[in-house]
Structure formats: C-alpha cells, structure tokens
Amino acid sequence: MGIPNLWRTKGQRYSLAGEICPSCSQHIFPPRDVCPHCAKPAGPIHTLSGRGEVYSYTTMYNVPQGFQEQSPYTVALVKLEEGPMVTAQLTDVENEEVAIGMKVEMVTRKLREESEEGQIVYGYKFRPRLTEAA
Amino acid sequence: MFNQPNRAVGIVGYGAYVPRFRLPGSEISRVWTEGNSRSPIREKAVPGKDEDTATMSIEAARNALARAQIDPQLLRAVWVGSESHPYAVKPTGTIVAEAIGATPVTLAADWQFACKAGTEATQAAIGFVGSGMGDYALSIGMDTAQGRPGDALEYTAGAGGAAYIIGPAEQACALIQRTGSYVSDTTDFWRRPTTHYPSHAERFSGDPGYFGHVVPAAAALMAEMGTTPADYRYVVFHQPNAKFPTRALEQLGFTKEQWQTGLLVREIGNTYAGAAMIGLTAVLDVAAPGDRILMVSYGSGAGSDGFDLLATDKITEVQTRAPSTRSYIERRVQIDYAQYVRMRRKLATH
C-alpha cells in the first residue's frame, strides 16, 4: 500500500472513522461516496464506538508478506455495536482463548512495517474489553 | 522558581498505559549470570510485537480524554516526550493527534530529554494553557526502553507511561500549584543518533546524576511553597530502580506511606519518560479531594522537574471513567527470555 492510499485511509484505520447515512441513518464503514444500504449519497464522517463482538475468526500461521513479524495471529470478523462488520486482527489475547461472541474493543496498533527504512503502518485491531465501561 | 501562569491551571484528565507482557528479572539473571545476579526489580513490562511509543501514547491519551470528557478538537497541543519515538524524523505527536481526533488545529511535536521528556512537555503545556493560548494541551511521557543484552540496565528497561490533559483550574481534578526545574550539563546516560542501545556512566548515574538533581529540585520547590514532607499525602519520584527514589525520599524526610502508592518500578520496570508520570496516575487513581502530592521527575543529561499538586473535589468522579493504572499492571502475561528476544527484535535472522 502506497503513501497516498495510507494517507487517504488514516482516519478509518486509526480510529474507525465511518459515516452515518443522512438518508437511511445506517452506520457505514469504511466511509464511501454512496450508502450501500439505500444507494443515496453517504456521509458525514462519524467515528464508531469501537465496541463489538467476534462474529467469527481464524488463526493464521502462514501469513502474507509483511506480517511475519506478528505471526501467528487471529483474524476476526467483528460485528460492531453500530452494525457494520469489520475484518481485523485480534491482539492482547491468546489465540486459543478467542471465542465467537467475545466482547471486544478497538485499539490502534502497528499493523506492519514496510521495511527497515520504510514507513510504519498503524491501524485498528480488537482486543477483549478491559472493562465493561470501556 | 518560575512565575505563576497568567491563569491557574490543573490536570483535567489523565490516563495510563502499560503493555501486558512481563519479563521477570530472574530470567535475565538466568541467561546472563547463571542466576547469580540479583535483579534490582521483580519484573518489567515489555511491549507486544504490535506496540510502540505511538500506539501506547494513543491509548493513554484516549484514557485521559475519557476522564476529561472534552472534545479532542479543543486540544491545542499534543506533545509526546520519549526516548523511543518510532521515527527519528517524523513526529509521534501527529500520529497520536490524528488517532485521537485532535487534528488539524493543534500543535504536535516530540520532546526529548531522556526520562524527563514527558514532564518537560507538561511544563510547556502549563505555560501554553496558563498564558491563554489554548484551553487544553495534552502532554505525554511514554517509552519502550531498550537495554543492551547482558547490561545492568536490561533488568529495568521497561515500557509504559501516562498522558495528562492540562486545562483551566476550575475544571481540574488536580490543581497545579507550583512547578520548578533544576538542570545541568551532566553526562550520565546517553545514546548517539545511529546507535540502538544507550550507554551509561555506571555509578555516576546516581550522584551527581539522579541525586544531584532530584533532591535539590524537590527541596527548592518545598522551600518556595513553605512546605515540609509532612504536608504531602503522596510523593512520586522518578524511579529507574527502587533504590534511588527510596534513598532520595528518605534523605528528604518522606515516609514509605507517602511513596509506596506511586512506586511502580518493581512491577513494571523503569518506564523512562513515563516513570514519574505513571507513578502519578497510580496516585491520582486513589487520591481523595484535598490530598497534596509532590512529583519530581529526572532525566539524564540532566535535570528534574518538580510539581506541587492538590487533588480537587472532581478527582473522585474522574477516577472510574477509564481503566486504572493498577488494572493495567495486573493485566499480566509472563514471558521468558526467548520470547523477549523475539518481541524486542534482538534476534539476528540473517
């Protein structure tokens, strides 16, 4: 992923900046021009709470190039409280402890490093909630 | 001593962060001295493979915002003090500011003064808010310290830190009553730009380094305020190990009851720019209205910042709005030296 793409997507990667459709009031993530629910213009930007639960998951031992540093890790489909489903790595959890329905919260972590001299890519991951209030 | 700012300021929100991995000192001793060296602390916090000073600062800042309950768009400064910034050139401050929603109308920068970088940023935040240039400024002290394998500092070089939002005194959970600073050109611990591990001057780190700055900074602040150790409910000093702050505090006349709440080094190690600041979050987590607190940081090179603080009626309501420092410390996963070598990239794979 190049610098322009990373720059354009920083809001959604760092803090789950999505949208609320002004026509149908559905939450949208990632943000886009047209609402996938009602096909009307989407927006404005609305940051999601980051709270959700594990809908499904898999643990990866053979990982894509650039992600070896953190392997093995678990990737989950996370159903956010506001509705959207996102795919993300889980962190701060033992892989064998992950379960469908586990309550999770978003944290911003290092996704990968492009090289020793390249940029560091940060983005959202999910972990078991520290507290119910968090 | 400094003049007082034009308007009174205080801490309106604070947040801690400690990664969950712990390396016992006995593991380092086992690998490097066949178990014959006694570790100065029980264990130290180690960052996960996806953590660095930027990610840890983001979480501490989010905790501070949760306590302050302010719109991050009102922050006019996001300042990160650390000696382990992820980039040599490119600010950690902008990454943190972007992630917490403070961009674009804010200052953002990184501060460097060994272990005093965080409190230096706090001093600047006090001046910035106190002058009226902004209503809120965020200062962070955070580190993922590295010790050379086998070196004495490997036992203590930990990871963690804290974030403070400075704002108007009337909104504060802790008033900043006075601050001071005490610096000199003293070379006791340093790292050149292209080297990975710091060097240190062995016993010189203690006196004239640590003791030569922490003690006079604390004494000068108390003299200015007309206080004695008995006037403070809690005291937090920079804590590179347990021995240094304990000796300095005893010398000044403080007691264990005053320092034990904020002395975290035995459980998480020396968190460098975060050390005094996270000791203070542990104190604020349990402080009651009216409790007076003395904090003194220390950074090699060298200098100390002193802070005289007073908890307000708001302290009890903010304490539970974000995870406590103690809850992060208790979130503990023990690792061995082999895991530590991989996590801290000490393994040559080519």
Nearest CA-CA distance, residue A15 and chain B, Å: 6
What pLDDT sits at residue B350? Answer: 56
Whether B293 maps to a domain, the answer reads yes
The answer to whether the Cβ–Cβ distance between B55 and A15 falls below 8 Å is no
Contacts of A133 in chain B (CB under 8 A): 320-321
* pLDDT surpasses 90 at A116: no
| A134 pLDDT tier (thresholds 50, 70, 90) | very low
Domain span at B146:
2-173+323-343
What is the CB neighbour count within 10 angstroms for residue B76?
Answer: 18
Task: Indicate the residue type of B224.
Answer: E
Q: Is residue B348 part of a domain?
A: no
Assign B337 to helix, strand or coil.
Answer: helix
Question: Which of A11, A92, A108 comes nearest B20 by C-beta?
Answer: A92
| Chain A contact set for B320 (CB, 8 A) | 133
The answer to whether residues B118 and B203 belong to one domain is no
Asked about B83 being catalytic, the answer comes back as: yes
Identify the active-site residue in B43, B51, B59, B83: B83
What does the alpha-carbon distance between residue B33 and residue B35 come to, in Å, rounded to a whole number?
A: 5
pLDDT of residue A132: 58
* Mean pLDDT value of segment B284-302: 98
Provide the shortest C-alpha distance from residue A101 to chain B (in Å).
21
pLDDT of residue B2: 86
Of the candidates B50, B52, B100, the beta carbon closest to that of A125 is on B50
CA distance B297 to B236: 8
Q: Are residues B17 and B166 in the same domain?
A: yes
Q: Does B334 touch chain A (CB under 8 A)?
A: no
Q: What is the pLDDT of residue B8?
A: 98
**Residues of chain B with C-beta less than 8 angstroms from the C-beta of A122:** 54-55, 95, 99
Residue B159 lies in a domain: yes
Query: Which residues, in sequence order, are CB contacts of A14 under 8 Å at separation 6+?
Result: A108, A122, A123, A124, B58, B95, B98, B99
A133, pLDDT greater than 60: no
Which chain B residues are closer than 8 Å to A111 by Cβ?
Answer: 50
Output the pLDDT for position A46: 92
Asked if B30 and B117 sit in the same domain, the reply is yes
Chain A interface includes B335 (CB < 8 A): no
- Together in a domain, B18 and B140: yes
Q: Please check whether residue B247 touches A, CB under 8 A.
A: no
Q: Give me the percent of chain A exceeding a pLDDT of 70.
A: 97
pLDDT band per the 50, 70, 90 thresholds, residue B205: confident
A87-106 residues touching B, CB cutoff 8 A: 89, 91-92
The answer to whether the CB of B276 falls within 8 A of the CB of B252 is no
- Percent of chain B whose pLDDT exceeds 70: 99
Q: Quick check: is B202 in a domain?
A: yes
Q: Which of residues 14-43 of B touch A (CB under 8 A)?
A: 20
Residues above pLDDT 90, as percent of chain B: 93
Residues 6 or more apart whose CB falls under 8 angstroms from that of B111 comprise B79, B80, B81, B82, B117, B118, B120, B121, B124
Q: Does A134 touch chain B (CB under 8 A)?
A: yes
Q: Where are the domains of chain A?
A: 3-128
Does the annotation mark B250 as catalytic?
A: no
Q: Based on the number of CB atoms within 10 Å of its own CB, is A117 exposed (0-12), middle (13-18) or buried (19 or more)?
A: exposed
Catalytic residue among B115, B120, B154, B267: B115
Nearest by CB to B48, which of A91, A122, A134?
Answer: A91
Per-residue pLDDT at B348 = 78
On whether any CB of chain A is under 8 Å from the CB of B319, the answer is no
Q: In the prediction, which pLDDT does B49 show?
A: 96
**Residue that the structure tokens 């006995």 belong to:** B26
- Position B114 scores a pLDDT of 95
Same-domain check for residues B135 and B37? yes
Same domain, B152 and B11: yes
Nearest CA in chain B to A111: B50
Mean pLDDT value across residues B7-12: 98
Residue B32 in domain: yes
Residue spans of alpha helices (H) in chain A: 3-8, 10-15
How large is the average pLDDT for residues B232-261?
98
* Nearest residue of A to residue B349, measured between CA atoms: A69
Q: What is the pLDDT of residues B129-177, one digit of tens each?
A: 999 999 999 999 999 998 999 999 999 999 999 999 999 999 999 999 9
Contact B51 A131 (CB under 8 A): no
Q: How confident is the model at residue B56 (pLDDT cuts 50, 70, 90)?
A: very high
Q: Which residues pair with B292 in a beta bridge?
A: B310
CA of A7, closest CA in chain B: separation in Å? 11
The domain that holds B313 is classified in CATH as 3.40.47.10
Return mean pLDDT, chain B.
Answer: 96
- pLDDT recorded at residue B263: 98
**B48 with B65: CB under 8 angstroms?**
no
Q: Does a structural domain hold residue B349? A: no
B207 and B120 within one domain: no
Residues B100 and B225 in one domain: no
What's the rounded mean pLDDT across residues B327-338? 97
The model's pLDDT over A26-37, given as tens digits with 9 standing for 90+, comes to 999 999 999 999
Average pLDDT in the B319-335 region? 97
Stretch B38-56: mean pLDDT: 97
Nearest CA in chain B to A125: B50
Chain B residues lying within 8 Å of A15, measured CB to CB: 98-101
Domain count, chain B: 2
CA distance A62 to chain B (A): 17
Q: Which of B20, B50, B98 sits opposite A109 (nearest CB)?
A: B50
**A57 interfaces chain B, CB cutoff of 8 Å:** no
Inter-chain touch A108–B55, beta carbons under 8 Å: yes
Within this chain, do residues B50 and B110 fall inside the same structural domain, yes or no? yes
Q: Please report which helix (H) or strand (E) contains residue B327, including its range.
A: helix B325-330
Q: Do residues B130 and B232 share a domain?
A: no
